[in-house]
Amino acid sequence: MADVLYIVVPCYNEEEVLPETSKRLLEKLQSLTDAGLVSPASRILLVNDGSKDRTWELISGLHASDERFSGVCLSRNRGHQNALLAGLTYAAGKADVTISMDADLQDDIGAVDAMLEKYREGCDIVYGVRSARKTDTFFKKTTAQGFYKVMSAMGAETVYNHADYRLMSKRALEGLAQFGEVNLFLRGMVPMVGYKSDVVYYERGERFAGESKYPLKKMLAFAWEGITSLSAKPIKLIVGMGAFISALSCVAMLVLLILSIAGSGAGMSAWLLASVWLACGLVLLAVGVVGEYVGKNYLETKHRPRYIISEVLDK
């Protein structure tokens, strides 16, 4: 018997794009079912992340008209990563395999076939990877590439040019469920699950409608979240920076001593003042980074729920 597939789609204020997204996803699910590649019990799971528009109303209407549409509504907005995890966790109890994608139709739905082929070959995780960034502006392309390079340099290992378009088997989802942290960065957590994986390349299109949910400000915040959630390298860099400043200070004191003995200490006050300001700035930076880690540990110790589901539509 064919495997049950759940296509998990986080939605936040997607009323403009949802009608077209649901239409295309249903067409894809129907073709896969007709070909015997997935079970008729397969579903499209739309996760409402506390949207302020008519997103949940549209999801409810889709479910009422076709039982292949399922819905999960979070009690409030919890962010893309928590909404995605909520959908994956729910699907883990229903499906043999899941595919997650965004609602904006930038992910090529046609790549689903190739992902399922890799799954049938024995892969537990298949990453959808962009083959090019032809539709991006120069600024978007540059910042996105910088995002992955900075993440890698800071010790947060991710799949290059991969967002959250991926296939995961039931076994992989069960492995992911063992990660209990509150600060989520799924792009870095999923590779840590292990198991056999592969990639499928696709061309990412332009957003069908609405505005991007990841402008530069959110992209930078997302990168920082990933770095501090997955790596302690920033703290190690601070240790190295502190050692360097200490060594530099010793050299400066030696130079000052020599100049004092030679009777030529003029002009050194400005240099000393600049050094003090530099040291103060580095200390504040170090305190801020360490404080970020302390804050994350504080949130982890509270064991607050990552999300709360207020309503489920499924048959």
pLDDT in tens, the chain (315 residues): 789 999 999 999 998 899 999 999 999 999 999 999 999 999 999 999 989 999 999 999 999 999 999 999 999 988 888 899 999 999 998 999 999 999 888 888 889 999 999 999 999 999 998 876 555 555 566 666 666 666 666 556 666 777 789 999 999 999 988 887 777 777 778 888 888 989 988 887 665 445 555 555 666 666 666 666 666 666 667 667 766 766 666 676 676 667 667 665 555 565 666 567 667 767 766 776 777 677 666 666 667 777 888 899 987
User: How many CB atoms are located within 10 Å of the residue 92 CB?
Assistant: 20
Contacts 24+ apart (CB under 8 A), 221-227: 222/185, 223/147, 223/150, 223/151, 224/292, 225/183, 225/185, 226/151, 226/156, 226/158, 226/185, 226/187, 226/188, 227/150, 227/151, 227/154, 227/155, 227/156
Name residue 47's beta-bridge partners: 10, 72
Q: Cα 125 to chain center, whole Å?
A: 16
User: What predicted TM-score, i.e. pTM, was given to this entire model?
Assistant: 0.69
Do residues 8 and 164 touch, judged by C-beta distance below 8 A? no
Angle, alpha carbons 310-295-79 (nearest 5°): 30
Fold adopted by 5-231+306-313: Spore Coat Polysaccharide Biosynthesis Protein SpsA; Chain A (3.90.550)
Name the amino acid, one letter, at 247.
A
**Structural domain boundaries of the chain?**
5-231+306-313, 233-302
> Three-state SS string across 231-281, please?
CCHHHHHHHHHHHHHHHHHHHHHHHHHHHHHHCCCCCHHHHHHHHHHHHHH
DSSP 198: E
Q: What is the DSSP string of 24-42?
A: HHHHHHHHHHHTTSS-TT-
CA triple 97-103-106, angle to 5 deg: 100
Q: Which residue has the tokens 């880690």?
A: 293
